[in-house]
Amino acid sequence: MGGSSSGSTIRIFNPNDCRIFNSETSDHRIHIRPGERMSNKIILRLENITKRFGSVIAVDNISFDVYRGELFTLLGPSGCGKTTTLRIIAGLESPDAGKVYIDNVDVTEKPARERDVCLVFQEYAVFPHMSVFDNIAFGLKIRRLSKQDIKKKVMEVADLLELSDHLNTKGGRLGLSEQQKVAIARCLVVEPKLLLLDEPLTLADARVRERMRRELKKLQKDLGITMIYVTHDQLEALMLSDRMAVMRSGKLIQLGSPEEIYDNPNELFIATFVGSPTINLLEGVLDIEKDQLILTTDARKYVIGRHINTAIYQHLTGSEVILGFRPEDVKISLDGTIEGVIKFIEVAGDKKIVHVKIDDHEIRLLADLLDPFVEGQNVKININMSKLHIFDKKTGRKILKR
């Protein structure tokens, strides 16, 4: 991790201004300057990174950029390589191939202490016997800053993270939310270029995790820090990220904004992994009859859509496909094209998740809480054709892009 020296400044970036504390003086100096969050300047670049553990390829030739001030998430199931990638960025693992650049400097061979990054682990590693002040000051003491400089820097960061009232509290007496703040404060006080977080909310229960997620997002935006966040929780990634990279089996499958990943998954895996309730899938052979899109399954033919633009689908006739459509893109309608029966209904906040049985398939759709649907009711459904995803059955790749 990068070090600070006596006489350096702490720069905490705000979207609209920047407060700079100069440790050579006894006073805070307020300077107004442009914020640096979400600029188009690349602060991190990974080029063709590969990492092997014996015969296992943990990270397989991945490349991506992270922009200054961005909250960038690495998302994927357990064992996909996301934590290994984070550790390579931090300098805790060395890649077998590829390059790591931070601020246009090749740091591939540099140790962690020389990279100017800070990693917050899943277990926050707050020293239970030490006060919050001493926990935050730990890295500064290692760097042998003066007591005066340490106090000023700790007070500045504690104020920003609303920890000032807890500075004398022992780390072991803190709740998870405060422990997270202390771990982040300990990173911020040494002024890293990158703040890395490895599944930081996993240990919290659902209620605490929701609050911590909000606080983390607000902190990142208010301070304009560049954050790289690892999680297996797709909902967490969708809510937090400016951009996200989805990984599987060591490979980077898709990179984009949460909206891009959700609305335009480029693989069946991503379509099923991201989104809740999960996407609906129908498997069969695609065809066109007059102006109707037809899917022939083992059970029967389904009219997927009427009055279609046949030119869009003509090249797919006869193809073995998997159709995907999200629950919010299905509606119960009197003129629906597919018949089924409601098997059961779940209440989810201000919506209902309606489960409709269609032959051997179950389709989930979202309905308003006051919609008068009942279990056992015969219904017809319509699929929003503009939101239909078509995947190749053999490869899982999306074969109709919108």
pLDDT tens by residue, 259-312 = 999 999 999 999 999 999 999 999 999 999 999 999 999 888 999 999 999 899
CATH class, domain 280-392, is mainly beta
Dihedrals phi, psi of 182, to nearest 5 degrees? -65, -45
Model's pTM, two decimal places?
Answer: 0.83
The label of the residue with tokens 């018949």 reads 339
Q: 94 pLDDT band (50/70/90 cuts)?
A: very high
Percent pLDDT > 70 in the chain is 89
CATH number 3.40.50.300 given to 42-272: yes
Show me where the domains of the chain are located.
42-272, 280-392
Task: Say what the pLDDT of residue 85 is.
Answer: 98
Crossing angle for the helix pair 206-223 and 176-188, nearest 10 degrees?
20
Task: Say what the pLDDT of residue 122 is.
Answer: 66
- Is pLDDT above 90 for 49? yes
Task: Say what the pLDDT of residue 5 is.
Answer: 37
